[in-house]
Amino acid sequence: MAHIVVLGAGLGGTIMAYELRDGLAGEHQVSVVNNGSHYSFVPSNPWVAVGWRDRQAVEIDLAPVLARRKIGFHPQGARRVHPVERTVELNDGSSVSYDYLVIATGPELAFDEIEGLGPEHNTQSVCHIDHALKARTAFDALVAKPGPVVIGAVQGASCFGPAYEFTFILDKALRDARVRDRVPMTFVTSEPYIGHLGLDGVGDTKGLLESEMRQHHIKWICNAKVDKVEPGNMFVQELADDGSVRQAHELPHAYAMMLPAFRGVAAVRGIEGLTNPRGFVLVDKHQRNPAFPEIFAVGVCVAIPPIGKTPVPVGVPKTGFMIESMVTATARNIGRLVEGKQPDAQGTWNAVCLADFGDSGVAFVAQPQIPPRNVNWSSSGKWVHTAKVGFEKYFLHKIRAGKSEPFYERLALQALGIDKLKQIKVEASTDVPGA
């Protein structure tokens, strides 16, 4: 009997556990370690931050779902992974041993790398449900006393979509409140151009997003390095292509939301051979760590090098479909190892993204996510908002039901009119002992 432990119960970890349970024989054990018992649908956080959703609408108690699926659950959270001993030390001092470990922790939010950044200091965040609820309180204060707004993503950030989403969602919420005319808005980003997204653009995201910014009277600063944030004031250096300072900006604000850089979580950061210097997990083409082959990783915690050099550092995002591809490949590869065979599945790492703008939105498809691509497409319209709302409801239903069937293929891709994408590549069979 094999024991497979999934560390983390976010988008990747929860589906990972369901897919493993579906694919493995009943005698094998699947367990989940998570910090807390609730799953929160992070893509809804921009809506929470303006009061369009509450906590109850986007959170699910995983304990009864996992129990029904016969998946072990340890909500104490992990203190440290010990790869040599093949154990996960939990925060209460106990430990869980494993035959195979899937790290799906998501990132640690590196607010501390910039003075004054983060919800405990001078900027808001939509990275966590608690942050979004705090941002909602700040939004109410902004409506009561309008003033300048700064939204964006700092140097080293790798998740730009939510910054764009929140910019336009906030614009819509302020228009609904009839105070948008008293709220100048500036978008501040480490990207070299609007619509870069950490992917060197997808289709005409540059043109689409610049056009949306102009139509909504939003100014922007690219190649931006945030030096510090004081109460009501953000200090930003705008760099030229050669890395020199083109212009220094002092941006007064009544409200600011800046996405931080990510790093690996403390439970894995600094383990030689397992992670890179930022704490992201190193994996091969099978999602498997080369130094500790019984460890796999999926999602935002995976190390992916930047696409190219930029004046200000930007990371590569891990979109939902890309994570699903990682999950499906990992589930198959662990299943083969349990059977004494070699891993043979690779995630295709295709990107499909629906960016909601409150009453419209932008969608893009990149196959694969990393250039050069076979498909490089983007589009915009009111249908994107409708598709995003449908996706939220559909995915939350799947989490509650404990099912692992692909969610993008059944909803988003149909709405986009795109043929079904193959999630994984399967290599020629090499059925020799692999465990």
Under 8 Å between Cβ of 164 and 272: no
The tokens of 40 are what? 């929160």
Burial-class residue 394 by CB neighbours within 10 Å (0-12, 13-18, 19+): middle
The answer to whether residue 222 is catalytic is no
SS (H, E, C) the chain: CCEEEEECCCHHHHHHHHHHHHHCCCCCEEEEECECCEEECHHHHHHHCCCCCCHHHHEEEHHHHHHHCCCEEECECEEEEECCCCEEEECCCCEEECCEEEECCCCEECHHHCECCCCCCCCECCCCHHHHHHHHHHHHHHHHCCCCEEEEECCCCCCCHHHHHHHHHHHHHHHHCCCHHHCCEEEEECCCCCCCCCCCCCCCHHHHHHHHHHHCCEEEECCEEEEEEECCEEEEEEECCCCCEEEEEEEECCEEEEECCEECCCCCCCCCCCECCCCCECCCCCCECCCCCCEEECHHHECCCCCCCCCCCCCCCCCHHHHHHHHHHHHHHHHHHHCCCCCCEEECCCEEEEEECCCCEEEEEEECCCCCCCEEEEEECHHHHHHHHHHHHHHHHHHHHCCCCCCCCCCHHHHHCCCCCCCEEECCCCCCCCC
Q: How many residues are there in the chain? A: 435
Give the closest residue to 58 by CA, choosing from 73, 43, 77, 68: 43
The answer to whether residue 353 is catalytic is yes
Q: Looking at 127, 159, 222, 301, which residue is catalytic? A: 159
Q: Which residues pair with 88 in a beta bridge?
A: 81, 96
The tokens of 194 are what? 């609007």
- The C-alpha torsion from 233 through 234 and 240 to 243, rounded to 10°, is 130
Q: Looking at 127, 222, 301, 353, which residue is catalytic? A: 353
- Residues with active-site annotation: 159, 353
